[in-house]
Homo-oligomer: A and B are copies of this chain.
Amino acid sequence: MSKFAVLGYGVVGSGVVELFYTNRDSITSKAGQSMDIKYILDIRDFPNSPYEDKFVKSIETILSDDEVTAVAECMGGVHPAYEFVKACLEKGKSVSTSNKQLVAEKGAELLKVAKEHHCNFFFEASVGGAIPIIRPLHKCLAANEITEVAGILNGTTNFILTKMINEHMEFETALAMAQELGYAEKDPTADVEGDDACRKICIISSLVYGKHVYPNSVYTKGITDISLDDVKYAQKWGGAIKLIAYVKKLDNGKIIPLVCPMLVSNENLIAHVDDVFNAVMVCGNGIDKTLFYGRGAGKLPTASAVLGDIINEVQHSETVLSQYWEDTNSTDFIADYSEFTAQMYFRIKGSNTLVPEGAETICTDDDDYTVFITKPMSIADSERLCASIAENNGMVVSTIPVLDIK
């Protein structure tokens, strides 16, 4: 009999408990041994819960119980999740977390603590919810040099953009609808400004390239500037505007992680990923490209990923050394955003603007705007182009990079 504890009985934590007891027979069969939840940690009372006898209020109860070999951390936020997780790992209890903020801020340190104490720090649920991405990246695709990863890693913004694209709904209206449906928080900043997607691309970048990438070293731009005009011109071009979390390895060995809206061609499946769904495309020198798609959030989908890690821990309790990265205390391996190279979408006020050589025009005879897509250029060069357009009395309303994976 293997026993684990659940930290936090919010949306994800209660999902872990519900999914475990719903599927307990098949989970036991897959784990190769009987399993149960011994404790649920929450400061609140749940007097009518069928699991009433499992609730505890102090982490010490869990830490001091040697029978508990694994812990599912579903509290969210950095504190006290960090202190609790670290203490569990120091006791040799493996931890599975859905907490992307914790992994993005403290991942390298917690992986080190886990390694030192011969246990595991798992975080499949921290990126892409139900989508298996962490384990496939470091296990199944281990024979590849990963060249690029691009994904839709925030369901809230994808829901809003889908409404803007398919129903030509204004940003504010779509956001209000997302809030009403429970897809967006009352304060939607972390989602719409790209911070949530940033944490996830930090985790992927760290895992793929072996060095901790902190959120503050990642260029991050959200979707608040995206207008219906841009959405419509993107459709005219044959694609969709999506909030893309992205990382690429450059020829000089540095990586560029970033989060920003991008134009995605309809030839790329990512353009067809709608509503709250997430998708991650991984490019490597063996696989060419592969894509993982599913629900990026939600009670049971996230619980599925947390529990998958717990089952894996019960099956194989040896330390997973491969899932590890270093804290280099440096950002030397991260290239500046200005070095990022892509075709660029330009929307310019007025129809009398000169279109640069080699650009693909989406619209030149429109009364209001000249819209075109340049040949690939660096962000630095695109900023110089903006300046030169301004010198010629043009007004650049928006510039958006084009995702170069088809």
A: residues with CB less than 8 A from B are 19-20, 22-23, 26-27, 29-32, 124, 130-132, 135-136, 138-145, 210, 269, 272-273, 284-295, 298, 300-301, 303-305, 307-308, 310-312, 315-316, 318, 321-322
Q: Which residues of B contact A138 (CB under 8 A)?
A: 30
6 pairs, CB–CB < 8 Å, chain A vs chain B: A31-B322, A142-B311, A143-B304, A290-B293, A291-B293, A293-B293
Say whether A304 contacts B132, CB under 8 Å: no
Q: Which residues of B contact A288 (CB under 8 A)?
A: 130, 294-295, 298, 300-301
CB distance from A199 to the nearest CB of B (A): 20
Q: Which residues of B contact A22 (CB under 8 A)?
A: 145, 285
Q: Which residues of B contact A20 (CB under 8 A)?
A: 143
Say whether A26 contacts B294, CB under 8 Å: no
Q: Which residues of B contact A131 (CB under 8 A)?
A: 290
Q: Which residues of B contact A31 (CB under 8 A)?
A: 142, 322
Say whether B321 contacts A318, CB under 8 Å: no
Q: Give how many copies assemble into the complex.
A: 2
Say whether B294 contacts A291, CB under 8 Å: yes
Q: How far apart are the CA atoms of A141 and B132 in the complex, in Å?
A: 8
| Residues A303 and B286 in contact in the complex (CB < 8 Å), given A132-B132, A136-B140, A294-B291 | yes
- The residue that A290 contacts in the complex, of B130, B210, B272, with Cβ under 8 A, is B130
Complex A-B, nearest 9 residue pairs according to Cβ-Cβ distance, in ascending order: A290-B294, A286-B304, A132-B140, A143-B307, A130-B287, A132-B136, A291-B293, A142-B311, A286-B300
Q: Which residues of B contact A143 (CB under 8 A)?
A: 19-20, 23, 27, 303-304, 307-308, 310-311
From A20, A292, A303, A305, residue with most partner B Cβ within 10 Å: A292
| Residues A145 and B30 in contact in the complex (CB < 8 Å), given A269-B273, A290-B294 | no
Say whether B269 contacts A286, CB under 8 Å: no
Say whether A135 contacts B140, CB under 8 Å: yes
CB distance from A266 to the nearest CB of B (A): 8
Q: How far apart are the CA atoms of A318 and B32 in the complex, in Å?
A: 14
Q: Which residues of B contact A23 (CB under 8 A)?
A: 143-145, 285-286
CB distance from A340 to the nearest CB of B (A): 24
Q: Which residues of B contact A141 (CB under 8 A)?
A: 132, 304, 308
Say whether A139 contacts B135, CB under 8 Å: yes
Residue of B nearest to A29 (CB): B210
CB distance from A44 to the nearest CB of B (A): 24
Q: Which residues of B contact A305 (CB under 8 A)?
A: 140
Q: Which residues of B contact A315 (CB under 8 A)?
A: 321-322
Residue of B nearest to A287 (CB): B130
Say whether A32 contacts B321, CB under 8 Å: yes
